[in-house]
Every structure is written in C-alpha cells, then in structure tokens.
Amino acid sequence: MVDSGYHRPVSDQSKGSLACVFSLERVVETQVRTPQMVFMQPQRLIVPLFQRPYVWNEDNQWEPLWNDVVHVARRLLDNPGAAHHPHFLGAVVFQQVQNPAGTLQERTIIDGQQRMTTLQFAVAALSVMLRALGHTEYLSAGETCLENSDERNMRDKKIEPFNCD
C-alpha cells in the first residue's frame, strides 16, 4: 500500500512527532524526532530520482496539515507553561549516505518526501513573512531550518530535490 499523503491522527492519543527510520547499510534504527530536530541538524536530505514529483495539494494534504499546525499552536499559546505532548506528523524514512569524514551528513529520503518538502515550504513562507513584517530577529532560526552553513559562509539547501520538483 502506498501512502498518498498527509493523514491526521485518529485521536489525541496518537501523539508523538516525526517517527524517523534511519538505515545505515543493513542496520535500521528508529528514532522519534520533531521537525525542528531534523531541520536544525546540519545535514543534506536528498530526494532521489525514483521518488515521484511533488504532488500534494491544498484540499487533500496542505489544509489538514495546516489545521494540525494551528491546533498545536493554539494549544501551546493557550497554556504556555504546561507540559505538552508532541503531535504526530507521520513517519519519514531516511537512508544514511556514506560520505567522507568531516563532510556534511547526507541522507536519502526514502519515504516522507512530500511531508518534508511541505514543511520546508511552510518555513520558507514564514521567513518571507517575518522579513516583510520587519521581524528579522527571528529569521536565523528559519534559515537554519532551510539551509546549511559552513565555516566559509557557504550555504546549501537542507532538502535537495533531484526530480522535476
């Protein structure tokens, strides 16, 4: 069965965050990570050629995902001091790419490419809005989620699409 898009949790009991499955050769490691943990890490996430092009749309995936983001934001804003359970956004599968020591970590996105790309679009849109509104003090966190930076001040995108995206 192929996952065709974003699915909301059935109930509030199905909370977690992104369930990331990392594959290193034949060893599979499962980790629960928030999108922030995935995007703040210096790494390049590669969308391989075998992945379908970006096909998510407003009605079937963007709106349910956005409604979940709004729901979580309201919950956090209504009770900022409380302990909150993470919200399950779905599973993604990464495969570690072997690269020379001292170079940027690379992972191939095996599953979850549509979700990861959509989250990147949302962060990019938020960065554009913050810049337009003059709230530049918040831009560095968004840029860290979108791009990698090295000591020579060179930048490259966190997610590298290799299809016609």
Residue 1's pLDDT is 34
Lookup: tokens for 83: 């302990």
Between the alpha carbon of residue 161 and those of residues 28, 138, 146, the distances in Å are 24, 26, 13
The rounded distance, in Å, linking the Cα atoms of 163 and 94 is 17
Write out pLDDT tens, residues 37-50: 888 888 889 888 88
Mean pLDDT score, 13-37: 65
Can you give the pLDDT at residue 60? Answer: 94
Task: Report, as an integer, the average pLDDT of 88-93.
Answer: 86
Q: What is the mean pLDDT of the chain?
A: 79
